[in-house]
Amino acid sequence: MLKRIAARVLARRRADPATAAKPGATPRARGGVVQSSLAGHSALGLGLGALVYIVCLSGAVAVFADDLSRWEWAGTPETATLAPEVVDQALAAGLARAAQQAGGAEKVTGLYGLLPRPDWPHLAVRAFTPAGAVTWRAGADGVLADTPSDAWTDFIGEVHMELSLPGVWAGLAVGTVGIVLLSLLFSGILAHPRIFRDAFALRLTGARRLGLADLHNRLSVWGLPFHVAITVTGALFALASLMILTVAQVGYKGDLARAYAPLSGAQVAADAGPQPLPPIALLQAQVADPTTGAARISRFYYVERPGTKGQRILLDMTRHDGLTQGDRNYFDGEGKLLAPLGFLDGPVGMRVYGASLALHCATYGGLPVRLVYGVLGLALSIVTATGFSIFLARRRDRGRPLPRLERAWAGVTWGVPLAATVSAAFTLAPDLAREAVYLWSFWGLVAILPLLSLAAPTGERASRTLRLLLGAALVLLAGAHAARHGTDLPAAALVVDLVLALAGVGFVFSTGLAGRRARTLAAQANPAP
């Protein structure tokens, strides 16, 4: 029955002038259109897959932002605490420098202080002006360095959160990536009924596609709760700006300020009259722990319209218990407490929001939690990379290979971590430690390496070459960093150097194993007569 219906439909299509082949249309021409469409479709899939992979991998790295910052700042003496008056002097000095560079105090729109604490023993001051942000690091004495520098770890965090895109476009892009990833996770589970039954089946020998599929499926199952939690919270945060824009249009007649009010805290009316920054000790005393009277640990400090009577101050405080580690407290220009944002003991919605931030960013539980997040984040990165590789391997096994796409995807898989390593190397040259340098080196290599991979004879060869380069780059980066700082290298930075070096050696060693395996499979496929 179905065959007869299909035959009649095909007959009608052949007789229909609208669908009949045109006299001038040759099979070659129609095939050219199809091939062009397939090429465009494949390129789109490659681009979207690359964005998903970049967001996942950069997130796995960004979890260790504090640890990598200590590695990056290895040449700056560490101090876990600074007297409040020393912090006040550093903030005032940063504001004065920014005002001088911008051409007036009124052009400094914001002042940010990253305060020292036991797990991040440094002080940094960042000022925001229409020309951009500028950051100064402070030594153990609280005195700001003469020249500004940008943190590579901040750049990687922005890649994860914004893909280096501006404004609403960042939220749209990263939110789309989150939705795509969440869809892939659930559709992958539904498409494999035996995925939980075979949770510990792993075939690392034999056909490459089967090994990739087992690795992909096992990592997906083992980390599924983590993958879902991180993907859902990340997509919501990324799309928050779009959702609030919609709420403003629907509920507040386009008034964004009213829509943002629950998330932006108590407001202070703008007043351009001069007003010094209030002492940070005054702010901390007003948010002491109500149960013990002890001051909570301050993580960061931010001032809107600094140096004016209309300045509004945000002081983030943590008490190191529970999932939601900190709350954000707002003060007016004279340092009077307005209200906390409510992450710890506010409305249910704000507490859920604060807990979601902690859950996504691993800001609870210390180093053990960060290590777990790092491993699971790396697993999610492998899942995203192997998913596209399985698709390409399946095409090849069925006699319909996409060799150019195989080589390009190898350039993405190994090119992204190589680009991140190269961009991190610029932190060793103070004059080049600038956000623009990180931006162009990272995204430039991310774009160029897949194109260069097209020159490789096979995707496997491109993969091995880039893996070897990545391993060598990691070893060189660790060695150069250790040599630059010598005996002054802090223990935390030394651990990072050792991890980088071991990872690099592992990649170099695995390249040799992969080459040997490829030769063995080739010999089995083409036995000698």
Between 147 and 519, the more confident residue is 147
pLDDT reported for residue 284 = 87
CB 309 within 8 A of CB 271: yes
Is the confidence at residue 108, as pLDDT, over 60? yes
Is the confidence at residue 507, as pLDDT, over 80? yes
Joined tokens for residue 466: 């880039």
Query: For 191, phi and psi rounded to 5 degrees?
Result: -80, -10
Asked if the structure places residue 422 within a domain, the reply is yes
pLDDT in tens, 259-315: 777 777 778 888 888 999 999 999 988 887 666 655 567 888 999 999 999 999 999
SS3 104: coil
Asked if the structure places residue 128 within a domain, the reply is no
pLDDT reported for residue 51 = 93
Average pLDDT over residues 322-337: 83
Asked if the structure places residue 372 within a domain, the reply is no
Asked if the structure places residue 85 within a domain, the reply is no
Residue 238's closest CA among 158, 157, 173, 165?
173
Place 96 in a pLDDT band, splitting at 50, 70 and 90.
very high
Point out which residues pair with 448 in neighbouring strands. Answer: none
User: Which amino acid, one-letter code, is at 428?
Assistant: L
Q: Which of 124-128, 250-254, 390-394 has the highest mean pLDDT?
A: 124-128
Distance CA 323, CA 354 (A): 9
| Exposure string over 382-398, b if 16+ CB within 10 A, otherwise e | bbbbbbbbbbbbebeee
Please state which of the ranges 31-45, 60-74, 184-198, 219-233 shows the lowest mean pLDDT: 31-45
Distance CA 135, CA 147 (A): 9
Place of tokens 């802090």: 490
Q: What is the number of domains present in the chain?
A: 1
Asked if the structure places residue 120 within a domain, the reply is no
Is the confidence at residue 477, as pLDDT, over 60? yes
Rounded (10°) CA dihedral 97, 100, 104, 110: -20
Between 12 and 515, the more confident residue is 515
DSSP assignment of 132-201: EEEEEEE-TT-PBPSS----HHHHHHHHHHHTT--HHHHHHHHHHHHHHHHHHHHHHHHH-TTTTTTTT-
Is the confidence at residue 344, as pLDDT, over 80? no
Which pairs from 420-423 meet CB under 8 Å and 24+ separation? 420/57, 420/58, 420/61, 420/156, 421/470, 421/473, 421/474, 421/477, 422/473, 423/152, 423/155
Please state which of the ranges 164-168, 342-346, 376-380, 470-474 shows the lowest mean pLDDT: 342-346
pLDDT in tens, 360-377: 988 888 889 999 999 999
CB 430 within 8 A of CB 400: no
Between 317 and 307, the more confident residue is 307
Place 16 in a pLDDT band, splitting at 50, 70 and 90.
very low
Is the confidence at residue 517, as pLDDT, over 70? no
- Those residues whose C-beta lies under 8 Å from the C-beta of residue 99, and which sit 6 or more positions away, are 105, 107, 108, 307
DSSP assignment of 7-56: HHHHHHHHH-TTTSPPTT--HHHHHHHHHHHHHHHHHHHHHHHHHHHHHH
- For 520, the domain range is 402-529
pLDDT in tens, 400-450: 888 999 999 999 999 999 999 999 999 999 888 899 999 999 999 999 999
Asked if the structure places residue 263 within a domain, the reply is no
Asked if the structure places residue 295 within a domain, the reply is no
Query: For 173, phi and psi rounded to 5 degrees?
Result: -65, -50
pLDDT reported for residue 207 = 61
Please state which of the ranges 103-112, 217-226, 321-330, 427-436 shows the lowest mean pLDDT: 321-330
Asked if the structure places residue 158 within a domain, the reply is no
pLDDT reported for residue 190 = 79
pLDDT reported for residue 12 = 45
pLDDT reported for residue 159 = 95
DSSP assignment of 296-363: PEEEEEEEESTTBTT-EEEEEEE-S-SS--EEEEEE-TT--EEEE--TTTS-HHHHHHHHHHHHHHT-
The enclosing H or E element of 203 equals none
- Those residues whose C-beta lies under 8 Å from the C-beta of residue 236, and which sit 6 or more positions away, are 178, 356
Between 470 and 486, the more confident residue is 470
Angle at 290 between CA 286 and CA 291, to 5 degrees: 155
CB 442 within 8 A of CB 426: no
Place 94 in a pLDDT band, splitting at 50, 70 and 90.
very high
Place of tokens 């153990």: 140
SS3 112: strand
pLDDT reported for residue 14 = 45
